[in-house]
Chain A
Amino acid sequence: MIPIQFLVIDVWFGLEKLLLIGGIISFSLVVAMYTTFAERKIAGFMQDRRGPNRAGPFGILQPLADGLKLFFKEEIIPLTSNKSLFVLGPALAMLTAMLTSAVIPWGSQIEIAGRTVSLQVADVNIGILYVFGVVSLGVYGIMIGGWSSNNKFSLLAAVRGASQIISYELAMGLSLISLLMMTGSLSLKTIVEQQMQGGWGGFLGWNILYQPLAFLIFLICVFAECNRTPFDLPEAENELNFGYHQEYSSMKLGLYLFSEYVNMFISSAVVSTLFFGGYDIPFVNESELASSIGVNLVALLGFLTFFAKIAFFLFLFIWVRWTIPRFRYDQLMDLGWKKLIPLALANLLITAVVILTLNK
């Protein structure tokens, strides 16, 4: 029998987490929504155009209009498709895109009514491993969607996507191992807190300063995992007619397109957490600041800093997309297997040697 007071605390704990999950999911969706808008706007600016500016002031209602349009489109499920898998595909893509957000620490902690609430859904001690697991699952959304469409283009794109994601996962993992050797922990929260210990209010602790090569490899792999240009071969418009979601229409297509943006948002969050100190405010000592303006305000400032870092990476995603042309398929495989993996291994070796000599 559980004593009644533990039960009460558990209810509060559950409520906290539920609110946090709801908040994070709706926040990710809104950010992803406005990333589509930013994508179109920045694409316009980079091509000396104005971008969408008709819906609402400066066009800020454009993503709503886009979503509404997709909802009202006719839903077509091809007769020869495998219907249950066809429906499962986009749902899976969206689900795996959102799943990673559970282990990301979105801020330090806040205090409400004497309770300390951590701004992280689950501080599991295998955080990074969990991220990798979910990212690998992401390939099922593409694979199932492409295969169940029963269309040669879709299947070809899905096979491309699957092999691309599997190839780049290797280099991604290897580049992170050198980082993990330094931190000695897989928990994302611990990694952020370690970075906050560095000099200059945490700035000198940022992993980017110690592992720039790992960061570069990781960033390239993130681009490949998100199917963004220059690695957008699975949805190559001009050679595969839109790729794995060619047969999709209405909101199913919307979910696929949308999951790409959610993926971008979450990967930006992961990159900022691992290499850019997460919610660490550079040049500011958080614990000193907390004693003068309170924990809650510091948490808010930390979250805003984190979001600024994420926004920079979202901009980088878009910036790169409108600059670089797509890789050819053999170039893609060449880069992944023959360049990034050896480079990551070399980085791993150097890091190991340096750590060994320093610890002696």
Chain B
Amino acid sequence: MAQLTNRAKILAQKPLTFWESLYLPAIFKGMAITFGHMFKKKPTINYPEQKRPFSSVFRGLHVLNRDEAGRENCTACGLCAVACPAEAITMEAAERQPGEENLYREEKYAAKYEINMLRCIFCGLCEEACPKDAIYLSETFAPSDFTRKGFIYGKENLLIPHPVMEKEKFEMARGQREQQIKNK
């Protein structure tokens, strides 16, 4: 058949020479290759002990932020819910009562704040929309769960630990955040 292009490689199927039909030289060559691979560097990471570093712009699980005194930043304005393209955020607002000034920064706060992690596409538009720096995307991702219900994260899952009362946990939750903000 005529060749349409000159790229086709024509294979000549020659019978094996005596040396090749012994198989053994080829086998030894192959064994040398596999033996060499035993000492190669392994690309695998021991996952729970070692973790791959996230990129500085990684958008993970959401965190509801507090200020230095430990008051919640969120005022339940609803801008994040409006900005959300996946409609994953719902909230209920409530008025701050006298005596609750140490809990909430402004007069209005979110009594209920839920994000459906199955709907969320982790675009980070909620973070951009927020005028109060009350929500940001962290460096962790949502762990697996057995039920759909388990993926609806409420305030108890989202709120950052208290910076005064639970200082260590707060530092851990903040992670590299301060550094990143400075870098930006």
Residues on A close to B: CB < 8 A? Answer: 42, 45-50, 53, 319-320, 322-324
Contact = CB atoms under 8 A, between A and B. Distances in A.
A45 B31 CA distance: 13
Contacts of B46: 50, 53
B148 interface: no
A324 B27 contact: yes
Contacts of B11: none
Interface in B25-57: 27, 30-31, 33-35, 37-38, 40, 42-44, 46
Which interface residue of B33, B34, B35, B43 has the most chain A CB atoms within 10 A? B34
A48 B37 contact: yes
A47 B37 contact: yes
Contacts of B33: 323
B39 to A, nearest CB: 8
Given A50-B42, A50-B46, A45 B30 contact: no
10 contacts: A42-B38, A46-B35, A46-B38, A47-B37, A50-B42, A53-B46, A322-B34, A323-B30, A323-B31, A324-B27
A319 B31 contact: yes
B44 A50 contact: yes
Contact of B34 (A46, A49, A50, A53): A46
B86 to A, nearest CB: 36
Interface residues of B, number: 13
Contact of B31 (A42, A48, A320): A320
Contacts of A47: 37
A323 B42 CA distance: 18
Interface of B: 27, 30-31, 33-35, 37-38, 40, 42-44, 46
B34 A323 contact: yes
Given A42-B38, A319-B34, A322-B34, A48 B27 contact: no
A45 B42 CA distance: 8
Contacts of B35: 46, 319
Nearest to B26: A324
Nearest to A46: B34
A49 B44 contact: yes
B104 to A, nearest CB: 46
B69 to A, nearest CB: 44
Contacts of A50: 42, 44, 46
Nearest to B31: A323
Nearest to B40: A48
B15 to A, nearest CB: 15
A53 B42 CA distance: 13
Nearest to A325: B30
A46 B37 CA distance: 5
Which interface residue of A48, A49, A322, A323 has the most chain B CB atoms within 10 A? A323
Contacts of B40: 48
Contacts of A48: 37, 40, 42-43
A168 B27 CA distance: 20
A192 B27 CA distance: 30
Given A50-B44, A324-B30, 19 more contacts: A45-B37, A45-B38, A46-B34, A46-B37, A46-B38, A47-B37, A48-B40, A48-B43, A49-B42, A49-B44, A50-B42, A320-B27, A320-B31, A322-B34, A323-B27, A323-B30, A323-B33, A323-B34, A324-B27
A57 B44 CA distance: 17
B7 to A, nearest CB: 29
B151 to A, nearest CB: 28
A337 B37 CA distance: 35
A279 to B, nearest CB: 27
B83 to A, nearest CB: 43
B5 to A, nearest CB: 33
A48 B33 CA distance: 12
A35 to B, nearest CB: 17
Nearest to B30: A323
Contacts of B38: 42, 45-46
Nearest to A335: B23
A322 B27 CA distance: 11
Contacts of A324: 27, 30
A116 B137 CA distance: 77
Contacts of A45: 37-38
A56 to B, nearest CB: 14
A50 B42 CA distance: 7
Q: Which 6 A-B pairs have CB atoms at the shortest separation, nearest pair first?
A: A45-B38, A323-B34, A46-B34, A323-B30, A323-B31, A50-B44
Contacts of A46: 34-35, 37-38
Nearest to A53: B46
A62 B183 CA distance: 46
Contacts of A320: 27, 31
A222 to B, nearest CB: 15
A338 to B, nearest CB: 12
Contacts of A322: 34
A323 B27 CA distance: 8
Contacts of B30: 323-324
